[in-house]
Amino acid sequence: MSLEMDTSSSSQLTKDRNQGIKFRKSPKLYENRFGIGVLVVLLFAITLGLGIGIPLSKRSSGDGSGTTGPQTALQRAQTLLSNNPLIDGHNDLPWQYRQYAKNKVYTVDLSQDTRLQWNESVPMTDNVFPRIPAQTDIPRLRQGKLAAVFWAVFVSCGSTQKDAVRQGFDQVDVIHKYVEKYPTTFDLVTTAAGIENSFANGKIASLIGLEGGHMIGSTLGLLRMYYQLGCRYMTLTHSCDTPWAGNYKTDLADPPVTKGLSEFGKIVVKEMNRLGMIIDLSHTGIDTQKDALMTTQAPVIFSHSSAYTLCNHYRNVNDEILNMTRVNGGLVMVNFYTGYINCFPSNQTTPTLSQVVDHIEYIKDYIGIDYVGIGADYDGVDLLPVGVEDVSTYPKVFEELIKRGWSDADLIKLAGGNFLRVFKENERIRDTLANDSPFEDIIDQSQIPFLNCTTSF
């Protein structure tokens, strides 16, 4: 926040007081140079004393931020996010359009508060999840200082081996439509440089993430087509297996089911490296995570996961995988969902923002500041801790971190610097592989279930 110094009152006060000073009419004083010097010093001291009386809140903070006065922690957070890009790895707004508006983008006005719009215009049913969160719209995105966001392309696991591919392309189209609808707000972006350019131009960089390998139909050609349409990461699985990768629920079986990447799954990872498409390991099982981390040449992300040690949900990242992610140079983008933040051993009666920050700090302290980011999962969840209820609240997270003693340099890395590093490294690896031919491997057809629903080679 910029506070301009108002010096008019102090200047007038100085002027009035100077006019009120009376001197004895002593010829010696006026004629003596030494006496004149004393007079000048006295006048300077009086003026300086009045200057000292200017309130501190009107003075330059001297931190180079262009602001004046000592800032509150929240003001400092807002200033920092105004000057450095904040990137969220996962937002499910497209899914809200699908389940509540049948993908009719023009029925909801994102330039207005969506909470009343969703609830007034869309009938409620008993079999949908989540309940119209309405956590995202343009005014609140601006209030939250968001610079870039990955809009998630998600379709349910029930569409696997049915129409997941078609539904996936529909959701890509939804994102393209609402980005085009608000050209003064959004830019469709496919590169790290594009994020930086959008930020410089005051727009919100809109990127596309494919949330689930079931949408590529186990074919590399479709993976490439999604990339051509702008998808810059793919989550290898959602909460269901693909024929070539295991999801986190395999870890819940007793005994756990061993299912990592098949040979075809490893080819998927290699082709993503060749394309420059970031590998996202949220939702995947531990064996899949290990196989992917040992196969990839490029840094991976967990686009919306938190720390397992603080909340023992299998959607979170355990310490062993955190260490492997550090070695890989990857990134864990912390999810704000109550179910991944507030569980044993850290469960509280009322989940709060402080617990979200605990997860951020745990990852920072365990593997380093370079490997943590933010992937809040707004509009993909219906339960959020107090203080982080929607996209307007990002500055509150940074306010809490400032209160805990974080430096500006570390806050900038968390906000978006770490993700930009990962994105640029994926682009660099892509460029080194530019002369490699596309992979043309075909999955073993015996691995595909429901062959009566598909056409085999």
Q: Cβ distance 108 to 101 under 8 Å? A: yes
The per-residue pLDDT for 62 is 36
Q: Cβ distance 164 to 214 under 8 Å? A: yes
d(CA 188, CA 204): 9
Tokens 């972006």 sit on residue: 189
Name the active-site residue from 187, 271, 287, 377.
Answer: 377
Number of H helices, E strands in the chain: 18, 9
- Kindly provide the b/e burial profile for residues 335-357, where b requires at least 16 CB atoms within 10 angstroms of the residue's own CB: bbbbebbbbeebeeeebbbbbbb
Q: Clarify whether 90 is annotated catalytic.
A: yes
The per-residue pLDDT for 251 is 86
In a domain, 19, yes or no: no
Beta bridge partners of 60: 68
In a domain, 12, yes or no: no
Q: Cβ distance 259 to 287 under 8 Å? A: yes
In a domain, 66, yes or no: no
Closest CA to 380 of 106, 121, 86, 135: 135
In a domain, 184, yes or no: yes
Name the active-site residue from 214, 238, 313, 359.
Answer: 238
| Number of domains forming the structure of the chain | 1
Within 10 angstroms of residue 258's Cβ, the number of other Cβ atoms is 12
Domain boundaries, position 424:
75-432
In a domain, 14, yes or no: no
d(CA 75, CA 81): 10
Kindly give the interhelix angle for 93-101 and 114-121, rounded to the nearest 10 degrees.
30
Name the active-site residue from 88, 187, 280, 283.
Answer: 283
The pair of three-digit structure tokens given for residue 226, joined into one six-digit string: 């999604």
Q: Kindly report, residue by residue over 70-93, the tens digit of the pLDDT.
A: 899 999 999 999 999 999 999 999
The per-residue pLDDT for 99 is 87
The pair of three-digit structure tokens given for residue 145, joined into one six-digit string: 């200082």
Q: Clarify whether 238 is annotated catalytic.
A: yes
In a domain, 1, yes or no: no
The pair of three-digit structure tokens given for residue 433, joined into one six-digit string: 């592989």
Q: Kindly report, residue by residue over 270-284, the tens digit of the pLDDT.
A: 999 999 999 999 999
- Which stretches of the chain score pLDDT less than 70? 1-69, 119-132, 450-457
Q: Clarify whether 377 is annotated catalytic.
A: yes
d(CA 264, CA 266): 5
Name the active-site residue from 88, 187, 211, 390.
Answer: 211
Q: Cβ distance 183 to 177 under 8 Å? A: no
In a domain, 34, yes or no: no
Name the active-site residue from 92, 291, 358, 399.
Answer: 92
Q: Clarify whether 92 is annotated catalytic.
A: yes
Name the active-site residue from 90, 214, 313, 359.
Answer: 90
Closest CA to 152 of 230, 104, 95, 203: 95
CATH number at residue 103: 3.20.20.140
Q: Cβ distance 204 to 141 under 8 Å? A: yes
Q: Clarify whether 176 is annotated catalytic.
A: no
Q: Can the peptide bond before residue 70 be classed as cis, meaning omega within 30 degrees of 0?
A: no
Tokens 């903070």 sit on residue: 61
